[in-house]
Each structure stands twice: as C-alpha cells, then as structure tokens.
Amino acid sequence: MTDPDVNLLGLPRRDLEAFFVGVGEKPYRARQLMKWLYGRGVLDPAQMTDLGADLRRELAARAPLRLPEILAAQESADGTVKWRLEAGGGQAIETVFIPEPGRGTLCVSSQVGCAMDCSFCATGRQGFNRNLAAADIIGQVALARRELGDPEGRSPVTNVVFMGMGEPLANFRAVVQACEVLVDDLAYKLSRRRVTISTSGLVPQIRNLAEVARVALAVSLHAPDDDLRSELVPINRRHPIAELLEACWDYVEATNTREITFEYVLLDGVNDSPAQARRLAGLLARRPAKVNLIPFNPFPGTSYRRSAPEAVEEFRRILAGADIVTVTRRTRGDDIAAACGQLAGRVDNRVRVPLGSRQQETTWS
C-alpha cells in the first residue's frame, strides 16, 4: 500500500496522521492506532477492532509493527533488569530498567555502539555500527512495558533517559521523534522533565534541540579543563568547555528547563582531586546546574580505576560548599554489567572516521 520503509511504531502523531491521509484514510486513525500501540500495548493490527477490516489487513501487510527480539534478560540483586536486544545484522543493543522507590527509570540505547570514543566507556571502546530508528528506540520502551507488566495498575516506567549505548544527539532526528512519542498524551504521556537526553557535548545539536524538544538535558563533563576533557571526551577538541557551557545556559533559557545536570565520572588519580573539584565549582557556581557524580564502572580491558569513597565524598563536599546541588549516583546493576558505561551489546565497528566528518552525517536537517 505504501512505502515499506515507514515503520509506524515510533512515528510522531502528525507524521502518523500524514501517513493515514496519504493512504486515503482520515487523520483520526492516527489517534486510534496510537491508543492501541502505546496505551494497550497491542501491535497486531488484527486485534485493533475499531479499525475497518480492510485497513487492518493493509496494516498487517505492511509490517513491521514488531518489537525487538530479546536475546537475553538478566536481573540484578538490586532489581535492575537488563535486556540484550537483537538489532539486526548480528548486532545487539542493551536496555536497562532501574526501579527505585516511587519511580522506575528506563535507560535506552540510541545507537548500535558509539563513535565518540570516550576513553573510559565500554560502548565507546567498541566503536560504532549504526543509528537506531525511532521505532527501535520506542520499541525498547514498549518491550520494557510488556515485560514488566503493570503490577500496580500503572506503568512501572515513569522516566526515560537516553543514557544507554550511543550518543543520542548524533542520532538527532530519530531521538527527537522518539521524544515526541514519549511525551505525547496519546502515547506514553511522560512530562518533558521525565525524559532526559544525555550528551557528551555536541554543541550545534544542543542548540537545535532547544527548538524542537524541550526535554531535560544532561551533559557529560568529566573534567574541569580542556586538556583533560579532550583526553577523556574527544569531542571536546571540537567543542571546548566554554562553548559547551554557553550552549547549556542558553538551553536553560530557551526551554525554560530548571537546570542542566552535569555528569562527572570519577576516575582515580585522573579527575578526582580537590583542586579539580574547586575548578569545576568555579565553572558551575551560581549557574542553573546540578552535578551527578558517577563512580567509574570498570569493564574488561580498561586501566582506569574507581576513585576511593573518601575522594568522592571530598569532591562532593567541595561542590556542595559552592552551593551546587551534587548527588553521588548509586551504582545500580553492576553485577550484571548494566551500570553506566558498561553496556556493550554486540557491535561490529564499521567506522572510525574523524569526528568532524562524522558529525556532518548526523546533523539534524
């Protein structure tokens, strides 16, 4: 009936309406389909009883309205669940659900691997294979909801964070589409504050994001000076700290969000000294910023070590002393390699192109 490459799962409402109009149907069919897909978790058109028989047949004929296949599921002692999902062509991605009192956070992947090459990250070490489509991203949410059920009559997924495999802003279009579905009242109904994009610092895309999706933003800073940050997070050579922070403050103003969360992985003897904490405080004090200190999660082959608890506490104390809200993230799911930076899936690295040219390919158009 139509372009077989359009996957209806993960399509924002207006695109879905355009799709139905394009096939001679009324735009309200989009609402009906969204209620089935996201409200009831029904993907089989045959069960969508308020659509006409012909339309049901046509939708069924134009698959795929299907969720990714689960290759493995693991549950941590702390209740964290990790799914390893088939991503086509022998590749795999990972999705993690982290239950906490009163909320449940789903950590989704946005790419198969990651090209940003941060030195302390298991995903980055594997290289990059491909961008995920919006359907693949929303598929992770739909799959988690199906697997977790609604034990208390409501969805256990209250928050979605783009902190799994990949650099979300290097897959801008699909990630923005997925965000639209996450916040749509006919789909997942999450408030914008409960959807967080975490980025290593792609400045032009941060600026574009402010115009199209006013979701919460987390920025992986990890160092208070350019020399060290460029070593840990290579994109810093292209967009150094001052430029990045300016884009962050502009984002807050343009989007009316409360603040930016700065993530800072503490690496023993690398970025965890009191002097570095003071320098970081100098960058963020009196700004709309909060800091998330992340204990380093080791993975096979890395030579970095986790900072001592006393160093973490001293670092936190210095930031708090400058009136910066600072939280030390509790490590979750590390017994099943589901913690930050441990996600590895299966990635056949296809490109290791210089950062500059790679960025051109992935910019929002």
Which one of 17, 25, 94, 263 is the catalytic residue? 94
Residue 121 interacts with ligand SF4 (CB under 6 A)?
yes
State whether residue 134 is helix, strand or coil: helix
| String of contacts with ligand SAH for each residue 111-130, x by CB under 6 A | ---x-----xx---------
> What is the nearest approach in angstroms of ligand SF4 to the Cβ of residue 116?
3
> What is the nearest approach in angstroms of ligand SF4 to the Cβ of residue 199?
7
- Write out the H or E segment, with its range, that includes residue 161: strand 159-162
Residue 176 interacts with ligand SAH (CB under 6 A)?
no
Residue with tokens 């697997």: 147
Residue 333 interacts with ligand SAH (CB under 6 A)?
no
Is 340 among the residues known to form the active site? yes
d(CA 325, CA 3): 49
Nearest 5°: phi and psi at 58?
-65, -40
Residue with tokens 């969360």: 261
Residue 131 interacts with ligand SAH (CB under 6 A)?
no
For residue 19, the one-letter residue type is F
C-beta closer to ligand SF4: residue 114 or 281 = 114
Residue 291 interacts with ligand SF4 (CB under 6 A)?
no
| String of contacts with ligand SAH for each residue 191-230, x by CB under 6 A | -------xxx-------------------x----------
Is 121 among the residues known to form the active site? no
Residue with tokens 């006409």: 52
C-beta closer to ligand SAH: residue 59 or 81 = 81
- Tell me if 309 sits within 8 A of 47, measured CB to CB: no
With CB under 5 to 8 Å by kind, the binding choice for 196 among ligand SF4, ligand SAH, none is none
State whether residue 340 is helix, strand or coil: coil
101 exposure class (CB count in 10 Å sphere: 0-12, 13-18, 19+):
exposed
Residues between 171 and 210 that touch ligand SF4 (CB under 6 A) = 200
b (16+ CB within 10 A) / e for 190-201: bebebbbbbbbb
Sheet holding 260-266, edge to edge: 70-75, 81-86, 92-100, 103-107, 159-162, 195-199, 216-220, 260-266, 289-295, 325-328
Among 76, 109, 123, 129, contact with ligand SF4 (rule: CB under 6 A): 123
C-beta closer to ligand SF4: residue 32 or 95 = 95
| String of contacts with ligand SF4 for each residue 129-168, x by CB under 6 A | -------------------------------------xx-
Total residues in contact with ligand SAH, by rule CB under 6 A: 16
- Tell me if 301 sits within 8 A of 125, measured CB to CB: yes
> What is the nearest approach in angstroms of ligand SF4 to the Cβ of residue 241?
16
With CB under 5 to 8 Å by kind, the binding choice for 263 among ligand SAH, ligand SF4, none is ligand SAH
d(CA 271, CA 266): 6
| String of contacts with ligand SAH for each residue 278-317, x by CB under 6 A | ----------------x-xx--------------------
b (16+ CB within 10 A) / e for 343-356: bbbbbeeeeeeebe
Count of CB atoms situated within 10 Å of the CB of 208 = 17
> What token pair was written down for 325?
């809200």
C-beta closer to ligand SAH: residue 55 or 233 = 233
Residue 263 interacts with ligand SAH (CB under 6 A)?
yes
C-beta closer to ligand SF4: residue 95 or 220 = 220
Parallel, antiparallel or unpaired: strands 260-266 and 289-295: parallel
Residue numbers at the binding site for ligand SAH (CB under 6 A) = 114, 120-121, 163, 167, 198-200, 220, 263, 265, 294, 296-297, 340-341
User: Which residues are catalytically annotated?
Assistant: 94, 340
Residue numbers at the binding site for ligand SF4 (CB under 6 A) = 114, 116-118, 121, 123-124, 166-167, 200, 220
